[in-house]
Amino acid sequence: MRRLLQISTLFIALGLLISCGSDSSTTGPDSEPEPTTGSVEITTSTNGDDQDDGYEVLVDSTTQGIGANETITVSNLDEGEYEVELSNIAENCEVDQENPQNVTVKAGNTVSTQFEIGCQAKTTPQIIFEGVGEEAENIEIYATDSNGSNILNLTEHSAMDKNPVWSPDGSKIAFESDRSGQVTDIYVMDADGSNQTRLTSSGADDFSPAWSPNGDKIAFVSERDGTEIYVMNADGTNQNRLTNNNRRDDEPLWSPDGSQIAFRTNRDGNEEIYVMDSNGTNEERLTNYGLDDCCADWSPNGNKIVYTSFRDGSPGDYEIYRMDTDGSDKMNLSDHTDHDRSPVYSPDGTRIAFIPDRDGPTELYVMNEDGSNQTRLTMDRTVLGVPAWSSNGNKLIYVGRYESDRSIFVINEDGTNETVLTAELDLAEKPAWRPN
């Protein structure tokens, strides 16, 4: 009987102990509170060429960086619906799914989301030009691919930026701008529009930049002492005056080997073509006629110069001439009763593009280097300005009328596949191909 009483007492004690232990586990001083916030885990996965080096992610009005292939966690988010948005994405990359993404955060939990980003190889613009966009109020420098895609405003400035010129290696662009005040200065920038740097600051107009063949120097026209030709280093240092007379000297054009500069001048009463050494010495008059000669272009081998001349017929009847670089052996290449102008050698020197108006509106023609086989490429286009050859000589670009605007066109060397490149712009002029 006593033993039974002892066992009963033991069970009662154990019951009380278990009961006390249970109460201390739920109401004791060491109990943890229920979680009230959650987290979002965000992963980026980037593939392709020329991948971006990172992005920004926005969650609940908070932005933080994330790598191209990284996982981060955003914590302490109240329960609810959230947008997770990826931004600061390079132009050659895009998110392959919806962006932003919606997630639901629950207290005590981590919800995961992922962005997959595909990148394409970056392409260097092949054509630069000056133009006016639909929403722009001033002339800017633009660039585009050779098919007219990816038109980019390189300068994006409230001032006027114009007359872009590629450096020989295609890495930089020289141009004119009046952004520094009331005068025009020469600037240079990288091919993508970055690092825009002012090179001249004379207080007078400086314009018409022309790169030397090796890219070390830039010739230009300045009105700081009349209208004269100057030269400077490609970084703007060491600006030196090359011509010195009381008339106008302009249109500097380097010889292919960089030893000479041809230029136009009216120092003799009418416009004539001169040449000088690249340091300004040994000026020599190449043309000598009572009417104007202008608009020269060197042959790629440096042995010939083609130009526009008014010497045949009336002052309005101009022809394409060719001469040796010492001014001898002048030859009328176009030899037509109507106007022919703006000659440009092909890269291999075997053909010359030019613009006549013998068919009514001005059109684009090509001919052999000796003036034979004159062939019309465009039909009823009204071609303006000066055409430009692609580096391989397979295509030409030019300015022509498109509806009521001036637009840039590209056409094959045989006249096929004429395509407008800048239909979306109000104005486009002075196109130039990127050198190889």
pLDDT at 31: 63
* pLDDT band at 405; cut points 50, 70, 90: confident
| CATH numbers and ranges of domains, the chain | 37-119 (2.60.40.10), 127-433 (2.120.10.30)
Q: How high is the pLDDT of residue 34?
A: 85
Compute the average pLDDT of residues 169-192: 95
**Is residue 20 predicted with pLDDT exceeding 50?**
no
Distance in angstroms (rounded) separating the CA atoms of residues 52 and 69: 10
Q: How confident is the model at residue 29 (pLDDT cuts 50, 70, 90)?
A: low
Q: Is the pLDDT of residue 7 over 60?
A: no
Residue 30 is predicted with a pLDDT of 60
**What pLDDT band is residue 92 in, cutting at 50, 70 and 90?**
confident
Instruction: Give dist(CA 210, CA 122) in Å, integer.
Output: 28
Q: Which of 319, 328, 374 is nearest to 351 (CA)?
A: 374
Q: Above 60 in pLDDT, residue 4?
A: no
| % of the chain beyond a pLDDT of 70 | 90
pLDDT score at 2: 42
CA distance 188 to 73: 44
Mean pLDDT, range 85-91, rounded to an integer: 87
pTM: 0.74
**pLDDT higher than threshold 60 for residue 15:** no
Share of residues in the chain with pLDDT > 90 (%) = 69
Q: What is the mean pLDDT of residues 12-30?
A: 45
Look at residue 18 in the predicted model and tell me its pLDDT.
44
Supply the pLDDT for residue 358. Answer: 84
Choice between 18 and 261, residue whose per-residue pLDDT is larger = 261
Residue 107 in tokens: 């207290």
Mean pLDDT for the stretch of residues 155-179: 96
